[in-house]
Amino acid sequence: MIKKLFMFALVGGMFSLTACAAGGSSTESTPTESTSENTTAAQSTAETTTPVNTEAQEVTTTQFTYTTEEWKAPEEYGKVIALTFDDGPNTTTTNEVLDVLEEFDVKASFFVIGTNISEETVPVMQRAVSQGCEINSHSMTHDYMNSMTDEEILADTEQVNQLIKDAIGTEPKFFRPPYIATSGKMFRLIEMPFIAGYGCDDWDPAVDVDTRVQKTLEQSRDGAIILLHDAKGNSQTVEALRQIIPELQAQGYEFVTVSELFYAKGIQYVPGLKKTFSAVPQ
């Protein structure tokens, strides 16, 4: 099999800026319409996206390599969306989320916390991979990394990436900063694209199932990354998923991993943009 390497570039695009640096928010807030000004501004600047080489079997970016053998050609995708889950893995809620994904035959991405990776939870991560899901990093300790030193950021990242590699055989491809709190140091030192996403505050038990469903559906659009949580005990999100997935399927969405979302849209993250993606450009 001929394996071609190719590069494609993105400058600017429809990404959302997120909370950053000094004293980041105490909750995991996510970008909403309030960032649309930034988005529009970013779009109006140079956006140069070159077409994807559909013959390629392997995609190499400066950040990561992934195979596309199981993926169709980018132009064959319709509306795509990526469900993502933070704060696992655990043996309860993560498995319940996987049960729902399995039932509806959809893929998602899990952004795991290193300290949650254990003998008990490694099989859960492996189950996720066997269902076509992707495992990404949500840091080692879930601390505010924007106040860490260079050494601390590097140590944290190295540790969690190694644990993930030990568990599933590959390092994570994407990084979600705890609390979506970022800093220049983090962008300089963490060599993975930063992902935020559109959330429904589902880390808050006071947000009921209907609200989670409604807010997620309102924010869903082609190329979006949906931010949810599979933290232990978050059964309201499991319940919400049972409504969110069939509704979005009825609207014609295909659920893909974050890697596949970028691939489907022909986008390569370019380091140094100091952006956190909540969606990929159309």
By CB under 5 A, name the binding residues for Zn ion.
86-87
Query: Given the complex with Zn ion, which of 87 and 222 has the nearer CB atom?
Result: 87
Residue from 87, 156, 202, 229 carrying the catalytic annotation: 229
Q: Closest approach of Cβ 129 to Zn ion, in Å?
A: 21
Name the token pair of 184: 């220049």
Rounded CA separation 76/93 (Å)? 33
Query: Given the complex with Zn ion, which of 13 and 197 has the nearer CB atom?
Result: 197
Residue from 86, 87, 156, 230 carrying the catalytic annotation: 86
Task: Return left, alpha or beta for 50; rule: phi > 0 is left, psi -120 to 50 is alpha, else beta.
Answer: beta
Rounded CA separation 73/121 (Å)? 34
229 included as an active-site residue: yes
Query: Given the complex with Zn ion, which of 86 and 254 has the nearer CB atom?
Result: 86
Q: Closest approach of Cβ 178 to Zn ion, in Å?
A: 5
Q: Closest approach of Cβ 222 to Zn ion, in Å?
A: 26
Q: Closest approach of Cβ 162 to Zn ion, in Å?
A: 20
Query: Given the complex with Zn ion, which of 6 and 203 has the nearer CB atom?
Result: 203
Q: Closest approach of Cβ 138 to Zn ion, in Å?
A: 5
86 included as an active-site residue: yes
Q: Which residue is nearest to Zn ion (CB)?
A: 86
Amino acid identity, residue 157? T
Query: Given the complex with Zn ion, which of 49 and 116 has the nearer CB atom?
Result: 116
Catalytic residue IDs = 86, 229
